[in-house]
Amino acid sequence: MEFIENIKYFMLCQKYHWKEFFTYRLQGLIWIIAGWNYYQLLLLANTSGFIIGFVWYFIIAWNIVDGMRAGELDKYLIRPFGKITCILSGYSGNLTGVAGPIGSLLLIIYSLVNLKLQLLSIVMFIFSMLIGIAAIVMLFLFITVLAYLFMNSAQFTNSMLNISFSANSYPLAIYGIGIQLIFTLILPIGFAVYYPIQALLGVINPIFAIISVFGLFIIIAVSKLGFDKAIRGYSSGGG
Amino acid sequence: MDNPYIAFFKISIKDSSAYFKDYLTYTIGRILTYMLMIFVWNIVYIGGHLSEIGSFSLMQIDAYFVIGGAIFLIIDSKNDKILSDDIKTGNIAKSLIKPVNYVYMVFLESLADNVLVLPPVFITIIFALYYLGISTSILSIITFIIIVLIGYAIINVIQFIIGSLSIYTTSAFGMSILLANVAFILGGAIMPLTFFPSYMSNIVLLLPFQMFIYVPTSILIGIIPSSAYLYYILFGLFWLLMLSVLGYFLWGHVKKKISSAGG
């Protein structure tokens, strides 16, 4: 039985990433996409996978929306902690949920070793990745509550997460300016994935890495404000 | 009185369409996610100054991903989840004593989801053919429909087999993810199978996964010649038969292993 459990965990680890790993390996043999080589693409896809993987872990939209539909969210909200802490602790995933980010982390390390980058740049990159997780989790928590209020739907959040992950697994430049702006200003995953990696690889001036971190703090602040306002629209089972 | 299967199918459709906005966002999200590949391949063609890769022109590759994105919505089944959940919760014991065929019920429940996505699938395919100026023949359209139906039947049988295996593995979740990813790559969802290195495509073109996206889409856009249509229909039917036989024997074995809370 332990063997089967191990296989299941292995497959979960690969949940988001082995498909990309394989594809880039194939593509990397033949083409360089938009000037990005195989290891750079692998780093990009797995940074996206690492951050989105944590969002999947913390924001299980079905659970949050089911809780709101059933009017049972108040059982968490009356606890003597902040609303966000209560929701994240009450509705986040279990141990298997972190398997995705772990799979990504291994491939990030593999890519970084092969790219042979400066240690200082890597430290900056890790710092921005951690803030990126906080910002994108906060953003999707806001989107989940908003989607419930306007659409009574959890699928909206899941679809947005899927699109974000897929789109940010490739350099945003390939999509043209319109889509690049969407992932920079409207669904700003670019601040957590694309721009920090470009700075890490030396494609853009390192000052943009600092601007990206600043952008992430703005996302946290705006999402927090939006969440506080949106959660007031929730009424419990008791009215 | 309604036939019990028709009545169950109607209820399943009502159940699946209960949250229309969920369905809408799922459908749009899935098509958009898939169509992002168009950008990637456009960059490969334009950036590499290539007019053709593996006999696909740029226009054909755009059509391939738009039509493939639509088919991708149909080539899906939740048989594995239904079966696995029923085995895990023990509900299967209750279902098996009902005076209906449990296997048919599983297939019908899954089919209800697929029927709902048919309108956007048709619209997307017609749009792709018209907008991208792809000329196709009646024979190609008929063969396309037959191949999609065979592909749909194959994915259903494979997922039924995976769901059945959860009697041994407790959960089918890991295997379902593995299948989804294998079907995604080897079905031609990321790139046409002729783009693979020849040592790989020689193997991949022997597997049933190509019936999901690569074969039907290539038929519709004229990559596969009409002289090969019969071969692909027979090839798909062969795999469907093989997998059905496997599923039949496995299900017989699983039924014997099921024990309810009452013993």
Structure tokens, A157: 């959040």
Residue to test with chain A: of B17, B20, B25, most A Cβ within 10 A: B25
Q: Which pLDDT score, from 0 to 100, does residue A31 have?
A: 54
Tell me the per-residue pLDDT of B31-44, one tens digit each, with 9 for 90 and over.
Answer: 788 778 888 788 77
pLDDT greater than 50 at residue A38: yes
Distance CA B114, CA A153 (A): 20
Q: By percentage, how much of chain A surpasses pLDDT 70? A: 82
Q: By percentage, how much of chain A surpasses pLDDT 90? A: 14
ipTM field:
0.71
Q: Which pLDDT score, from 0 to 100, does residue A26 have?
A: 53
Pick B56 or A1 by higher pLDDT.
Answer: B56
Mark yes or no for CB contact B173/A8 under 8 Å.
yes
User: B1 with A131: CB under 8 angstroms?
Assistant: no
Judged by phi (left if over 0) then psi (alpha if -120 to 50, else beta), residue A171 lies in: beta
What's the number of domains chain B is made of?
1
Mean pLDDT, range B221-235, rounded to an integer: 94
Which residues in chain A are closer than 8 Å to B44, comparing Cβ atoms? 27, 31, 33
Residues 6 or more apart from A127 whose CB is under 8 A from it?
A213
Q: Which pLDDT score, from 0 to 100, does residue B210 have?
A: 94
- Containing domain of residue B142, as a range? 4-260
Residue to test with chain A: of B88, B181, B191, most A Cβ within 10 A: B181
Q: Which pLDDT score, from 0 to 100, does residue A33 have?
A: 62
Distance CA B66, CA B64 (A): 6
Distance CA A68, CA A77 (A): 11
Q: Which pLDDT score, from 0 to 100, does residue A7 have?
A: 45
Q: Which pLDDT score, from 0 to 100, does residue A237 have?
A: 58
Q: Which pLDDT score, from 0 to 100, does residue A89 have?
A: 80
Torsion of CA B15, B69, B121, A16, to 10 degrees: 0
Identify the closest residue of chain B to A168 by CA–CA distance: B36
Which residues in chain A are closer than 8 Å to B168, comparing Cβ atoms? 4
Structure tokens, A109: 């390390």
Q: Which pLDDT score, from 0 to 100, does residue B156 have?
A: 92
Mean pLDDT, range A39-51, rounded to an integer: 87
Distance CA B35, CA A145 (A): 28
Mean pLDDT, range B166-177, rounded to an integer: 75
Mark yes or no for CB contact A159/B25 under 8 Å.
yes
Q: Which pLDDT score, from 0 to 100, does residue A207 have?
A: 83
Burial of B241 (0-12, 13-18, 19+ CB in 10 A): exposed
User: B186 with B98: CB under 8 angstroms?
Assistant: no
Distance CA B136, CA B142 (A): 11
This prediction has a pTM of 0.79
Q: Which of A11, A40, A3, A53 is nearest to B181 (CA)?
A: A11
User: B228 with B218: CB under 8 angstroms?
Assistant: no
Q: Which pLDDT score, from 0 to 100, does residue A10 have?
A: 46
Within 13 Å and on the Cβ side, how many CA atoms surround A96? 12
CA angle A179, B61, A174 (to 5 degrees): 25
Structure tokens, B207: 């597997």
Q: Which pLDDT score, from 0 to 100, does residue A6 have?
A: 45
Lowest mean pLDDT among A106-115, A155-164, B84-93, B106-115: B84-93
Structure tokens, B58: 């740029």
User: What is the SS3 string spanning A19-69?
Assistant: HHHHHHHHHHHHCCECCECHHHHHHHHHHHHHHHHHHHHHCCHHHHHHHHH
Backbone φ and ψ for B57, nearest 5 degrees, come out as: -80, 170
Mean pLDDT, range B91-112, rounded to an integer: 83
Q: Which pLDDT score, from 0 to 100, does residue A27 have?
A: 52
Distance CA A66, CA A195 (A): 35
pLDDT greater than 70 at residue B192: yes
B170 Cα distance to chain centroid: 24
Mean pLDDT, range B85-91, rounded to an integer: 80
Q: How is residue A117 annotated by DSSP?
A: -
Distance CA A166, CA A154 (A): 19
Distance CA A187, CA A185 (A): 6
Distance CA B171, CA B83 (A): 10
Chain A, chain B: beta-carbon pairs less than 8 Å apart: 96
Give the number of residues written for chain A. Answer: 239
Mark yes or no for CB contact B21/A26 under 8 Å.
no
A12 touches chain B (CB under 8 A): yes
Query: Which residues of chain B form beta strands (DSSP E)?
Result: 52-53, 56-57
Mark yes or no for CB contact A155/B19 under 8 Å.
yes
Tell me the per-residue pLDDT of A51-107, one tens digit each, with 9 for 90 and over.
Answer: 988 888 888 888 888 888 777 777 777 777 788 888 888 777 766 667 778 888 888
User: A27 with A171: CB under 8 angstroms?
Assistant: no
What is the residue-averaged pLDDT of chain B?
A: 85
Distance CA A212, CA A78 (A): 36
Give me the residues of A, 21-60, that contact B with CB < 8 A.
Answer: 22-23, 26-27, 29-31, 33-35
Residues 6 or more apart from A81 whose CB is under 8 A from it?
A89
Residues 6 or more apart from A44 whose CB is under 8 A from it?
A36, A168, A169, A170, A171, A193, A194, A197
Identify the closest residue of chain B to A9 by CA–CA distance: B174
Q: Which pLDDT score, from 0 to 100, does residue B263 have?
A: 45
Structure tokens, A206: 């390192």
